[in-house]
Amino acid sequence: MAVGGLKKKAVHFGAGNIGRGFVACFLHNSGYEVVFADVVDSLIDKINSSPSYKVVEVGSEGTTENTITNYRAINSKTHEEDLINEIATAEVVTCSVGPNILKFIAPVIAKGIDRRSNDDAPLHVIACENAIGATDTLAKHIKDPRNTAPERLEDHHLRARYANSAIDRIVPAQDPNAGLDVTLEKFFEWVVDKTPFQDVGIPSIEGINWVDNLAPFIERKLYTVNTGHATAAYHGYNRRKRTVYDALQDRAIMAEVRGALMETKNLIVSKHEFEEDDQAAYVEKIIKRIGNPHLEDAVERVGRAPLRKLSRKERFIGPAAELAEADQPIKYLLDAIEMCFRFQNVEEDEESKELAKIMSENSPEEVVSKVCGIQTSDKIHPSLVAIVQRVQDDSRED
């Protein structure tokens, strides 16, 4: 049953592997028609000419397949009016476009929201991104005066509500001949803050864990799954391993991953009051997942976008800075940060090239401030400066 009598329809921005394989799969299984919004003409044509595609889940216990139907796609660049109408009549809008793209999808969502009737249930907006508070970020762009007239903000809550989420599923690079089919791991976690929706109806989306307080789940996921995955990838890249699985067969790299996750475990347990045994078991589960041999996860793919991953609230600096303030050990996190700084000029990764440029043109102190958002007053500052200095010195020797 759709919320508020609207058609059970969801608009999803980003028709890539995560959009098709994760979010749209759960929307489809929950009875929604899915309208993909994207800007890649060839992908949109392929979606509109294919009546179905498969989502293949792989794990140590075997493989399962889901067949996805009841979807279509719209080019948000060339058919904006059509997309506005879809948003105006949808129950849910989700996205998996990358945190840096949220500002570009906000204008059309704002137009769709503005066209909605106050008498209908408000649009339920959930950003499914690897970033803390991504839906808040999207909402801020939508409510920006350039996108929504200030006089329309007073009753905006009658037309749209926004809930942050934490998503967790490993979707590796796909076989180039897979077409629309997506292969991913069996494990998933999709946790959404239910409080913004409680008075207007919570969408019936299978697979979502609705919670009152999302922050512990977001940090647990970011500081365990993402920290562990990236630690393995960066150490693997610097030791010339091909995949994350290959990297984790190296005892030295496995020790680095376990060390980093022991440090973040200390933070998660003390800050969010997860039981220590529960978090230790979660760490073991994550190590097993990221080392799944069926996923063929190239270290270059997992390591891409090092500038974002070295930023202040991300998987390395976020926990390391907090632990440093509490005088807790961060040796393994610092090791991972150094390996990330060494991820430069990697083919097909613009951020790694930008990182190399920043490293060559700035002092260590400037790099730490620009890239990591860390100031001289932060306890972690001297350690990061020393890392950058070491990486710069090695680059000059090369």
In this predicted structure, what is the pLDDT of residue 172?
Answer: 82
The answer to whether residue 221 is catalytic is: yes
In this predicted structure, what is the pLDDT of residue 397?
Answer: 77
Class of domain 9-212: alpha beta
d(Cα 281, Cα 170) in Å, to the nearest integer? 19
For helices 251-272 and 276-290, the axis angle rounded to 10 degrees is: 140
d(Cα 100, Cα 130) in Å, to the nearest integer? 11
Q: Which amino acid is at 338?
A: E
Q: Residue 312: count other Cβ atoms within 10 Å of its Cβ.
A: 13
In this predicted structure, what is the pLDDT of residue 6?
Answer: 57
Q: pLDDT 10s per residue in the chain (398 long)?
A: 354 455 699 999 999 999 999 999 999 999 999 999 999 999 999 999 999 999 999 887 789 999 999 999 999 999 999 999 999 999 999 999 999 999 999 999 999 999 999 999 999 999 999 888 999 999 999 999 999 999 999 999 999 999 999 999 988 878 889 999 999 999 999 999 999 999 999 999 999 999 999 989 989 999 999 999 999 999 999 999 999 999 999 999 999 999 999 999 999 999 998 999 999 999 999 999 999 888 878 999 999 999 999 999 999 999 999 999 999 999 999 999 999 999 999 999 999 999 999 999 999 999 999 999 999 999 999 999 999 999 999 998 76
d(Cα 278, Cα 286) in Å, to the nearest integer? 12
**Is residue 66 classed as helix, strand or coil in its secondary structure?**
strand
d(Cα 72, Cα 48) in Å, to the nearest integer? 6
Angle at 184 between CA 183 and CA 186, to 5 degrees: 130
Q: What residue segments make up the domains of the chain, in order of their start? A: 9-212, 216-395
Please report where in the chains the tokens 């991300």 appear, as a residue: 314
d(Cα 197, Cα 93) in Å, to the nearest integer? 13
The answer to whether residues 53 and 46 touch, using CB atoms and an 8 Å cutoff, is: no
In this predicted structure, what is the pLDDT of residue 295?
Answer: 80
CATH architecture group of domain 216-395: Orthogonal Bundle (1.10)
d(Cα 178, Cα 183) in Å, to the nearest integer? 9
In this predicted structure, what is the pLDDT of residue 359?
Answer: 98
d(Cα 105, Cα 102) in Å, to the nearest integer? 5
DSSP secondary structure letters along 191-256? EEE-GGGTTT-----TTEEEES--HHHHHHHIIIIIHHHHHHHHHHHHTT-SBHHHHHTSHHHHHH
Q: Residue 22: count other Cβ atoms within 10 Å of its Cβ.
A: 22
| Residue among 143, 221, 241, 309 flagged as catalytic | 221
- Cα distances (angstroms) measured from residue 13 to each of 20, 34, 37, 296, 371: 10, 10, 5, 26, 28
Separation of first and last alpha carbons in the chain:
63
The three state secondary structure string of 1-65 is: CCHHHCCCEEEEECCCHHHHHHHHHHHHHCCCEEEEEECCHHHHHHHHHCCCEEEEEEECCEEEE
In this predicted structure, what is the pLDDT of residue 1?
Answer: 39
Whole-prediction pTM = 0.80
Alpha-carbon 163 to chain mean position: 15
DSSP secondary structure letters along 268-334? HHHHH---HHHHHHHHHHHHHHHT-TTS--BHHHHH--HHHHTSTTSTTHHHHHHHHHTT---HHHH
